[in-house]
Structure 1
């Protein structure tokens, strides 16, 4: 059997991909101020959670990760497992993943994707495609590391309030984006969300994000991901614009950021990610 791929629910990969390619997504957690806890991807999470001031999130648990790895190792029939997780600088998931991997006798290699959301999903799919092409576990690991190093991801948010409260934005970003009227473009930088640009309106910010994505694509074949928080119409418009502007899109997908990431970026956020070196997604 090919190398088995595991990720976490922040990858936001849809069932159309996880089911076909037998990808395990270990759930992240969201907890309300009354103590109610939900597992992302398993429980029905109320949509208003992303706007709830008392909601908190936590990474995948050690127990869930170890269970997922043990099951994946058994399915791999000796070929091994590669686990691709969200940036270690955004969550304790990666550290827990390393502990879980150590507990299953070295059968699992853990990749720090240095990203989150659909960008993590595209890096995961790069690993999946390498595994299905017959690569060894170490070759799949190296493929995922290269995909993570070349991936690009940007996000426009309506307000920085959620990110300020969660502490997921760098200090520089917090200071430069303090004005409520500012609509920032955020990007992944060294595994953290940081400020790339700031603009007066969301429309201007999105237009500049598109310009930046086109420049980053630079005419190369790219896999395009669009992500949003409870803003499907704008996400669809963004995808259409990107497909018009980017020269060579091998495939594309739109994902909702879900309750955990949505809690950090707030309603209305929309962003793009570029993956390089992938075959068309199916």
Structure 2
């Protein structure tokens, strides 16, 4: 689709392919390093393969896209007719992806606004959708950016992990917090706060943690019109059950997306992840 404002995001948005195609959103892949293999998220490594590697305790790390990959995406958008680009990415507190995009934007053939959404997963995806919808309505570059930023301000992300070890290894949560959770044998509930992953609550069992996650999401949604995304890694039954309960408990629910996260986020959370994103319309 050709429009004057193009939308670019990255593979951690986990937008459904049909939705990206419908709105003309381009995704730039992050990479996963599995042993001596460097693999593009979504194209060369699946969530299932990643989960199996983690369960076998294989070495897994992640890496941002290179500036040149972003440069190629910006050139392609310009060649397709875009006169401006909004490039929306996961929190700069979690990845250098935003920095790589900003470097590429300096030499792009059209103006590029690079936005650190402070989000990840469908919290980022909802921002990209808001920008795309603004562009489709004839909005300017500034208006598309404003739509994404407004969506980000009304979006919250919460998640449960079976263990904090993966987040500790990747440097995404403090060692002290991770060791405390292990020492007390508690199950952590986390949230995205200020672009960082923060420990919200410590719950004694997995079942109680997941029940509490449901409560937090329902409280956050209230009676407002919201979209919700439920994410998981190698836990489809947990995700389906949570989605069913949220359909019953959130009166203003508009769209509900259920999906498995990709390899990049999965590498830092581990199998068993269950997350929920609440985004006000």
Which residue of structure 1 aligns with residue 82 of structure 2?
77
Residues 1:65 and 2:49 are matched in the alignment = no
Large movers: runs of 4+ above 6 Å: none
SS at match of 2:183: coil
Residues 1:111 and 2:112 are matched in the alignment = no
Q: Tell me which of 120, 129, 138 is aligned to 2:124.
A: 120
SS at match of 2:125: helix
Q: Residues 213 and 81 of structure 1: is their aligned pair in 2 closer, same or farther, counting only changes over 3 Å?
A: same
Shift of 1:213: 1.1
User: How far apart in 2 are the matches of 1:249 and 1:81?
Assistant: 31
User: How far apart in 2 are the matches of 1:170 and 1:85?
Assistant: 23
Residues 1:188 and 2:199 are matched in the alignment = no
User: How far apart in 2 are the matches of 1:53 and 1:268?
Assistant: 17
**Structure 2 counterparts to residues 95-244 of structure 1, below 5 A:** 95-105=99-109, 107-170=111-174, 173-174=177-178, 176-179=180-183, 181-244=185-248
Which residue of structure 2 aligns with residue 43 of structure 1?
44
Deviates more, 1:214-223 or 1:46-55: 46-55
Instruction: Judge conservation of contact 2:78–2:110 (CA < 8 Å) in 1.
Output: no
SS at match of 1:226: strand
Once superposed, what is the RMSD of the aligned Cα atoms?
A: 1.6
TM-score w.r.t. the length of structure 2 is 0.93
Q: Tell me which of 79, 92, 96 is aligned to 1:92.
A: 96
Shift of 1:76: 3.8
SS at match of 1:115: coil
- List gaps (5 residues or longer) in structure 2: none
Q: Residues 27 and 180 of structure 1: is their aligned pair in 2 closer, same or farther, counting only changes over 3 Å?
A: farther
Q: Residues 157 and 128 of structure 1: is their aligned pair in 2 closer, same or farther, counting only changes over 3 Å?
A: same
Residues 1:54 and 2:59 are matched in the alignment = yes
Which residue of structure 2 aligns with residue 280 of structure 1?
none
Q: Residues 175 and 181 of structure 1: is their aligned pair in 2 closer, same or farther, counting only changes over 3 Å?
A: closer
Q: Tell me which of 4, 29, 32 is aligned to 2:31.
A: 29
Instruction: Judge conservation of contact 1:170–1:193 (CA < 8 Å) in 2.
Output: no
Deviations 1:85-120 (A, max 9, x none): 000000000011111111115611011110111211
Deviations 1:21-44 (A, max 9, x none): 2211101100122x1111012114
What number of residue pairs does the alignment pair up?
275
User: How far apart in 2 are the matches of 1:152 and 1:240?
Assistant: 19
Residues 1:270 and 2:258 are matched in the alignment = no
SS at match of 2:229: strand
Deviations 1:131-190 (A, max 9, x none): 112111110001111211221000000111111111111456335423362111100011
